[in-house]
Chain A
Amino acid sequence: MSGFLKSSIGRKVAMALSAFFLMFFLLQHFAINILSVINPDVFNEVSHFMGTNPFVQFALQPVLIFGVVFHFVMGFVLELKNKKANGVKYAKNNGAANSSWMSRNMIWSGLAILAFVVLHFIDFWFPEINTKFIQGDWSGMHEGVEGYRYFHELQEKFLSPVRVGAYVLAFVFLALHLLHGFTSAFQSMGATSGRKKTLQNIGKAYSIIIPLGFIFIALYHHLNH
């Protein structure tokens, strides 16, 4: 088993498993965020639950962080190893002839997403940690805001057109990343070709609908404030 984890294929599988986890996380994140468009109150309720439930905070959150960090670190490790396997560079290489742009540039779309994650942490996650763990305020309330503060904070953030622009751009990269990543993860896990067509279609749908949904949420709040 330890041999498996050290093997190239083992790492591929680990990469795919962390991807599955992140794709599932993305789905639930989207499900909660879209509530902010449908019903701000429900959004606040759910956000408060997620933000204060000990199981979510102390069990799921570390797993998530680990998943994110693992996926990034492993991605870089594999990229470096693969670069090393290349030898001398071709004088002329026509990658477009046999593969998609997305599949050849996962590292770049991944880096763009990483940059976004940093921004996202600065925007939401660090203030949350600060409020809850440093100041010890688990109330979910904020001065001058009626009810829970989450919806209000969300709207505040989407005031700036620059931030919304960055947000939109990041999700375009996420879509590109997913367009290859979704089916690639299944292929790494050994999905059989019989299911390939269905998987590809689900993958395409997922990779376009989810990021588009996030973009919609951002634009909606930017325009409806």
Chain B
Amino acid sequence: MNLTLKIWRQKDANDKGRMVDYKVTDISEHMSFLEMMDVLNEQLVDSGDEPVAFDHDCREGICGMCSMYINGEAHGPDRGITTCQLHMRMFKDGDTITIEPFRAAAFPVIKDLVVDRTAFERIQQAGGYISVNTSGNTQDANSIPISKHAADEAMDAATCIGCGACVATCKNSSAMLFVGAKVSQYALLPQGQVEAVDRVQNMVAQMDLEGFGNCTNTGACEIECPKGISLENIARMNRELMKASLK
């Protein structure tokens, strides 16, 4: 199929940036979206232009690197997938596709479609861990029984890939689904209880400091999340913070 692409081009962080139109032809419906971008870039290199910079790595939906806002939705129109798992069969011949970077004040653009998501790093550094040294002499793994239900729920929260689709989608650029998932994973496990109070307070404080917006419960993040992280995690974070404040 033949497509028109409207792509955000921005030379570097200081450039103002603009949408630029491109044409690609003979795109197979079996291509992944990023393979279509590869075709465009190969075309640009051949014609002596600079290819479009975009983040990507594993191309199987787990590294969380790819981050495109396609036709007004994070990771495009399909559900439960990342940009790299989006396939061209979701589009029709002759379509115009708008491709933008994930937007948020806390995610400044580095170049074209590449954004800086290190705000997430700093939030994790503020408390997204259990303070245990790797001595190899911790207690036996089976000495802490954890109910299957709690372990499964913690796992569901822990599957977050940190891509930032929740922030990009949220009309408030709120990072609460991401932070909620991380807080939840440890809140659900006995190992995480010792530091629970400090963890939630510090992580929320860092989240606010980074300039993310506030949650207004639109639920858009849950829908666009490639890993189906549930809104319940935000509610749990709220409970954890309230509990922590009363202690």
Contact surface of A with B, Cβ cutoff 8 Å: 1, 3-4, 7-13, 78, 81-82, 84-95, 97-100, 103-104, 106, 180, 183-184, 187-193
Number of A-B contacts (CB under 8 A): 150
B219 near A3 (CB under 8 angstroms)? no
Assess A104 versus B171: contact at CB under 8 Å? Given A86-B104, A99-B219: yes
Mark interface residues in B91-123 (1 if CB within 8 Å of A CB, else 0): 000000010100111111100000000000000
Apart from A90-B72, A91-B98, A187-B234, what 9 extra A-B contacts exist at CB < 8 Å? A3-B201, A11-B214, A13-B242, A78-B216, A82-B174, A86-B104, A86-B172, A98-B224, A193-B230
Task: Chain A residues near B237: list those with CB within 8 A.
Answer: 9
B235 near A93 (CB under 8 angstroms)? no
Mark interface residues in B204-224 (1 if CB within 8 Å of A CB, else 0): 110110011111111110011
Task: Tell which of A9, A89, A92, A188 touches B98, judged by Cβ atoms closer than 8 Å.
Answer: A92
Task: Chain A residues near B73: list those with CB within 8 A.
Answer: 94, 97-98
A89 vs B72: C-alpha distance when bound (angstroms) = 11
A88 vs B16: C-alpha distance when bound (angstroms) = 10
Q: Which residue of A lies closest to B19 (CB)?
A: A91
Q: Which residue of A lies closest to B214 (CB)?
A: A8
Which interface residue of A81, A86, A100 has the most chain B CB atoms within 10 A? A86
Q: Which residue of B lies closest to A186 (CB)?
A: B235
B216 near A103 (CB under 8 angstroms)? yes
Residue B69, interface by CB 8 Å: yes
B211 near A78 (CB under 8 angstroms)? no
A10 vs B246: C-alpha distance when bound (angstroms) = 12
B100 near A91 (CB under 8 angstroms)? yes
A122 to chain B, nearest CB (A): 30
B183 to chain A, nearest CB (A): 11
Residue B51, interface by CB 8 Å: no
A99 vs B205: C-alpha distance when bound (angstroms) = 27
B204 near A99 (CB under 8 angstroms)? no
A85 near B204 (CB under 8 angstroms)? no
A180 to chain B, nearest CB (A): 7
Task: Chain B residues near A1: list those with CB within 8 A.
Answer: 245-246
A84 to chain B, nearest CB (A): 7
B105 to chain A, nearest CB (A): 4
A87 near B108 (CB under 8 angstroms)? yes
A82 near B238 (CB under 8 angstroms)? no
Task: Tell which of B71, B104, B208 touches A7, judged by Cβ atoms closer than 8 Å.
Answer: B208
Task: Chain A residues near B54: list those with CB within 8 A.
Answer: none
A8 near B173 (CB under 8 angstroms)? no
B217 near A97 (CB under 8 angstroms)? no
Task: Chain B residues near A94: list those with CB within 8 A.
Answer: 71-73
Which interface residue of A4, A9, A98 has the most chain B CB atoms within 10 A? A9
